[in-house]
Amino acid sequence: MIVADRKPFAEIMSMVEKYSKILVVGCGSCVTICMAGGEEEVKILASQLRIAFRKQGKNIEVQEAMALRQCDDEYMDDPVLIEKVRWADVVISMACGVGVQHATTFFNRIIEERPTRVVPALNTTFMGANLGAGEWEERCLGCGDCVLEKTGGICPITRCAKSLLNGPCGGSSNGICEVSKNTECAWHLIVERLNVLGELDRIKQVEPYKDWRPSHSGGMRKRVREDMRI
């Protein structure tokens, strides 16, 4: 799941303060689950905006809307939503970076009479797991070449600050990473897990340097399933 965090209000405010008709659009998938961009957060941001503008004595209008996924055309192609977008001077997207970009492209394609300005309300932070209500942790970096089979199901690329492939560095002590006392050393976990799995000897195999081309280092990635495109 994509995890995001809301931007500081001042930053959002600076993006929209010159407009008088503002539409806040939430996204009903990942960012709803991570409590950053669902309907509740849309309403709260809208309320904050109304309070802030009224405090400044400005008469602005804020409307609210939701899309199930801002990264899919079909979910955005909703007459009520499009009507609101037409009305707005600026659209605040409470989706991840994917949604914001997709919304910009989509609305500008559908609404031809004038350009649509979409601004982000969230910072997209990581791909991670929900550890319980209100807690998320990064689990995958999207390196494009998964090594989890070798590492007992614990990703050293993501969970080691240095993305080391051949055991821990000197900064690991008592299972904790020197970068933060709240972070467990990924290699400590890997060794423990391999031990449980009876595969501890696997750490003796020296991993060659990683090919980072399938990762973002090779530029923007694209995937095609030919059989589905026909």
Partner 1 sequence: MEEKVRSVLVAGAGVAGIHAALNLANLGFKVYLLDKEAAIGGKMSQLYRTAEDNFALGAITPIILEASNNPNIQIMPLTQIEAVNGEPGAFTVSLKKAPRYVDIVKCVTCSLCWRACPVKVPSEFNYGLGTRNAIYMPYGGAAPNKPSIDPETCLNLNGKEKCTKCADVCPSNAINFNDKETMLELKVGALILTPGIEPFKDAPEVKAFGYGKMANVLDNFQMDRLVSIYGPTAGELKRPSDGKIAKKIAFIQCVGSRKPEEKKSGAQNLKYCSSICCMHAIRSSLTIKGRDESNDISIFHNDIMAIAKTNEDIYSEARQKAVQFIRSQVTSVSEVPDTKDVLIHYLSEDGKEADETFDLVVLSLGLVPSKEGIRLMKTLGIKLNAEQFPELPEYSRMALPGVAIAGSFRALADSPEAVADAQAAVMEVVELLASVPDVLPSTSLPPETDVAGGEPRVGVYICDCGGIIPKVIDTDALLKFSGRLEGVVDTLKLAYACQADGMQQMKSSIQSHDVNRVVFVGCSYRSFLPKLQNLIREAGLNKFLVEMVNARELGAWVHINEKEQANERVRAELKGVVAKAKGLKPLPVSIRDVTQKGLVVGGGVAGMVAALSIASQGIPVDIIEKTDKLGGNANRLSLSYPDSLKKMIKENPRINVLYNAELKELRGRVGRFTARVQTPEGGSTGEYGAIVVAAGGKEYRPNEYLYGSDKNVITQLELEELIKKGGPELKRINSAAVIHCVGSRNNERPYCSRLCCTQAVRNSLKLKEINPKVQIYHLHRDIRTYFLNDILYQNAQKEGVSFIRYDENRGLDVSQKGGLTIRLNDSQTQKEVELKADLLILNAAVLPGEDNKTLSRLLGIPLDKWGFFQEESYMTFSPVVMSKKGISICGLAHGPKTMDESVSQARAAAAEALSVLSKEKLTRQAVHAEVNPGKCIACLTCVRLCPYGVPFINEDRVAQILPFECRGCGICVSGCPNDAIELKSFTDDDVVPQIEAMFV
Partner 2 sequence: MNQFEPEIVAFCCHYCALAAADTAGKMGIQFAPNVRVIRVLCTGKVEILHLMKALEAGADGVVVVGCKFGECYFKDGNYRAQKRVQRAQSLIEEAGLEKGRLRFDFVPGPGGKKFAEIMNTMTQQVRALGPNPLKQKQ
All residues at 6 or more sequence positions from 194 whose CB lies less than 8 Å from its CB, including other chains: 151, 152, 200, 202, 203
Question: How many H-runs (helices) and E-runs (strands) does the chain carry?
Answer: 9, 9
Q: Cα(117)–Cα(204) distance, rounded to whole angstroms?
A: 55
25/85 with CB nearer partner 2 = 25
**Residues 161, 179: contact at Cβ < 8 Å?**
yes
Contact with partner 1 (CB under 8 A) among 18, 74, 79, 132: 132
Coil vs helix vs strand at 201: helix
- Closest separation between CB of residue 33 and partner 1, Å? 4
* Residue 9 interacts with partner 2 (CB under 8 A): yes or no: yes
41/103 with CB nearer partner 1 = 41
Binding characters for partner 2, 35-64, by CB under 8 A (x = yes): -----x--xx--xxxxxx-xxxx-------
CA neighbours closer than 13 Å in the CB half-sphere of residue 227: 0
Q: Which amino acid is at 175?
A: G
Question: Restricting to residues 35-64, which ones interact with partner 1 according to CB under 8 A?
Answer: 35, 38-41, 43
- Beta strands 176-177; 172-173: pairing state: antiparallel
Which of the choices partner 2, partner 1, none does residue 29 contact, using the CB cut-off of 5 to 8 A by kind? partner 1
State the residues that interact with partner 1 by CB under 8 A: 28-29, 32-33, 35, 38-41, 43, 66, 130, 132-133
State the residues that interact with partner 2 by CB under 8 A: 8-10, 40, 43-44, 47-52, 54-57
